């Protein structure tokens, strides 16, 4: 299968100091292209696998998903229910996964890029989310999959497209989600999603570093803490989403405490909140086993002959990121984004975003930018 996304960006810039916003240029680029295969093999027990290779901006090749997953249900089907008894002492263990895959932290960054309401994740997610990493993870669910959990140990990052810029350091990550309210009698989905995630990051020799683009991949990384001499950090996040038919609200708070080698305790944080409306009446689908969202599928595909227009979604997001604390002056960003998405059918989506980006107190950048972005997305 092949996934291909392309985007064009046009910006206007207003500098507010001598630093300005150099590097905010017009351009067209292949945002990401990925080809993958997945299926089932037999390695002592039935085993799911996936291999995905990708190309991102600037034709940078990366290994995105490359994993083996041992699935509980397939284990039961193959060996019989009595063979599953030793696993009952574990709380709802669903699978064990090892390889390269998305580390479980946050909602916006943990889900697939093909399902996001906006073209890029919010700046707090880009700064603090770990992205794709090499690791091993156990995941499970309870209460008819209304509660999910994941816990893993991760190391190397294979894709700098998203995730914090810290080096090849070890981390323990965990995420728990809950659906405290779910109206299963309604004609359209109505539910409340809550989640918490956290990690312990340890580095024997590498530095801790957080940075982010202004939610535009064609723009440079304008806020940046630089390398912080530290052996440990404690990132965590709170997440929530309310879906009421075609309407949804979503928010996340992400924070990282870094204890540097000089004994200072540094705190960096960010938050975003957004609302969306699927104008044509569809709703954002939810994947209960993973506590994430799926792609919006049109009720009726675009067809001039039939007079149908696919699915249209509008959204507005505000995000704030603060990478300043103590001696570290990484910068601050406030970004307001308006978006309009058109899903012609299950395989083609066109996205348009307008952003007002206010960058201040950053090492090399200071000012206000107005950015217009367009993306064509293909999923086969």
pLDDT digits (tens, 9 = 90+) for 145-202: 999 999 999 987 766 666 677 766 789 999 999 999 999 888 889 999 999 999 999 8
The structure tokens listed for 207 are 């530095």
The confidence band for 343, taking pLDDT boundaries of 50, 70 and 90, is very high
Give per-residue pLDDT as tens, 212-261: 999 998 899 999 999 998 888 999 999 999 999 999 999 999 999 999 88
pLDDT at site 20: 73
pLDDT exceeds cutoff 50 at 1: no
Of 3 and 237, the structure prediction assigns the larger pLDDT to: 237
Burial class (CB in 10 A: 0-12, 13-18, 19+), 93: middle
**What six digits make up the tokens of 329?**
């002056």
Q: What average pLDDT score do residues 252-281 get?
A: 94
What's the mean pLDDT in 109-115? Answer: 78
pLDDT at residue 65 in the model: 83
Each residue's pLDDT tens digit, 345-375: 999 999 999 999 999 998 889 999 999 999 9
pLDDT for res 13: 52
**Cα distance between the two ends of the chain:** 6
37 has pLDDT over 70 = yes
Q: Is the pLDDT of residue 9 over 50?
A: no
Residue 74 is given by DSSP the state H
Task: Name all domains of the chain by residue range, CATH numbers in brackets.
Answer: 2-379 (2.40.160.10)
pTM of model > 0.75: yes
Give the pLDDT score at 163: 62
Give tens-digit pLDDT for 123-149. Answer: 999 999 988 889 999 999 999 899 999
Query: What value does the mean pLDDT take over residues 20-29?
Result: 79
Residue 81 φ then ψ, to 5°: -60, -40
pLDDT at residue 324, as a whole number: 96
What pLDDT is attached to residue 329?
Answer: 94
Residue 325, helix vs strand vs coil: strand
| Of 291, 292, 295, 293, the residue nearest 140 (C-alpha) | 291
User: At residue 351, what are phi and psi to the nearest 5 degrees?
Assistant: -125, 140
Banded model confidence at residue 89, pLDDT cuts 50, 70, 90:
very low
pLDDT, one tens digit per residue, over 58-80 is: 566 667 788 999 887 766 555 55
Lowest mean pLDDT among 36-45, 137-146, 227-236, 333-342: 36-45
């Amino acid at each position: 299968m092949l996934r291909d996304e392309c985007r064009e960006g046009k910006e206007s810039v207003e500098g507010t100091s001598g630093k300005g916003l150099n590097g905010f240029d017009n351009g067209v680029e292949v945002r990401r292209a990925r080809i993958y295969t997945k299926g089932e093999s037999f390695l002592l027990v039935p085993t799911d696998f996936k291999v995905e290779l990708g190309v991102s901006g600037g034709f940078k090749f990366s290994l995105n998903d490359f994993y083996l997953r041992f699935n509980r249900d397939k284990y039961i089907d193959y060996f019989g229910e009595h063979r599953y008894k030793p696993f009952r002492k574990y709380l709802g263990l669903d699978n064990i996964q090892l390889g390269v895959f998305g580390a479980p932290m946050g909602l916006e960054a943990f889900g697939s890029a093909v399902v996001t309401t906006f073209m890029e994740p919010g700046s707090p997610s880009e700064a603090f989310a770990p992205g794709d990493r090499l690791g091993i993870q156990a995941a499970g669910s309870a209460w008819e999959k209304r509660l999910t959990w994941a816990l893993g140990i991760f190391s190397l990052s294979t894709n700098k497209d998203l995730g914090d810029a810290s080096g090849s350091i070890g981390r323990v990550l965990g995420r728990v989600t809950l659906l405290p309210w779910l109206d299963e009698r309604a004609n359209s989905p109505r539910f409340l999603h809550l989640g918490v995630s956290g990690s312990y990051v340890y580095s024997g020799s590498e530095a801790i570093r957080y940075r982010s683009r202004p939610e535009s991949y064609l723009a440079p990384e304008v806020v940046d803490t630089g390398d912080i001499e530290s052996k440990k950090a404690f990132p965590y996040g709170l997440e929530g989403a309310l879906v009421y038919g075609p309407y949804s609200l979503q928010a996340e708070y992400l924070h990282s405490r870094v204890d540097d080698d000089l004994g200072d305790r540094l705190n960096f944080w960010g938050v975003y909140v957004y609302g969306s409306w699927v104008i044509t009446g569809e709703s954002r689908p939810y994947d209960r086993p993973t506590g994430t969202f799926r792609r919006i599928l049109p009720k009726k595909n675009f067809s001039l002959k039939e007079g149908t227009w696919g699915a249209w979604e509008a959204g507005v997001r505000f995000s704030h990121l603060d990478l300043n604390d103590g001696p570290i002056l990484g910068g601050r960003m406030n970004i307001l984004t308006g978006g309009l998405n058109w899903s012609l059918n299950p395989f083609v989506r066109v996205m348009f975003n307008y952003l007002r980006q206010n960058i201040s107190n950053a090492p090399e950048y200071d000012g206000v930018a107005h950015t217009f972005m367009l993306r064509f997305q293909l999923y086969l």
